[in-house]
């Protein structure tokens, strides 16, 4: 699954630099996560870093984008060309 940012986001700017895949960017009103780049930090860290740094916990899993650990690892390898 990719992650997404809810409208509870306070634009605190801590999630964007925490993302190793550069999947997070400022949207029109709040930060957004590009699901094509989000690997939930698989390949980089044990836990999604944006969730770890978010002060209000507004970054849940996206139930509409279910991915297995293997799919997330494949995406990581594609993105990093490792």
Would 71 be classed as within a structural domain? Answer: yes
Comparing CA positions, the residue from 72, 49, 80 lying closest to residue 2 is 72
User: Span 2-9, mean pLDDT?
Assistant: 96
Would 7 be classed as within a structural domain? Answer: no
Containing structural domain, residue 34: 15-80
Global pTM reads 0.91
Helix (H, G, I), strand (E, B) or coil at 3: strand
Residue 42: exposure state from Cβ atoms within 10 A (0-12, 13-18, ≥19) = buried
Would 4 be classed as within a structural domain? Answer: no
Q: What CATH number corresponds to the domain at position 35?
A: 3.30.70.20
Would 45 be classed as within a structural domain? Answer: yes
Which conformational region is residue 47 in: left (phi greater than 0), alpha (psi within -120 to 50 degrees), or beta? Answer: beta
Would 37 be classed as within a structural domain? Answer: yes
**Hey, what are 25's tokens?**
């960017």
Residue-wise pLDDT tens digits, 15-57: 999 999 999 999 999 999 999 999 999 999 999 999 999 999 9
Would 59 be classed as within a structural domain? Answer: yes
Would 2 be classed as within a structural domain? Answer: no
């Amino acid at each position: 699954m990719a992650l997404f940012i809810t409208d509870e986001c306070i634009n605190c700017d801590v999630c964007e630099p925490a993302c190793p895949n550069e999947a997070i960017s400022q949207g029109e009103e709040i930060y957004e996560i590009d699901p094509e780049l989000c690997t939930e930090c698989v390949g980089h860290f044990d836990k999604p870093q944006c969730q770890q740094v978010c002060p209000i916990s507004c970054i849940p899993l996206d139930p509409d984008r279910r991915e297995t650990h293997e799919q997330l690892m494949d995406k990581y390898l594609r993105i990093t060309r490792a």
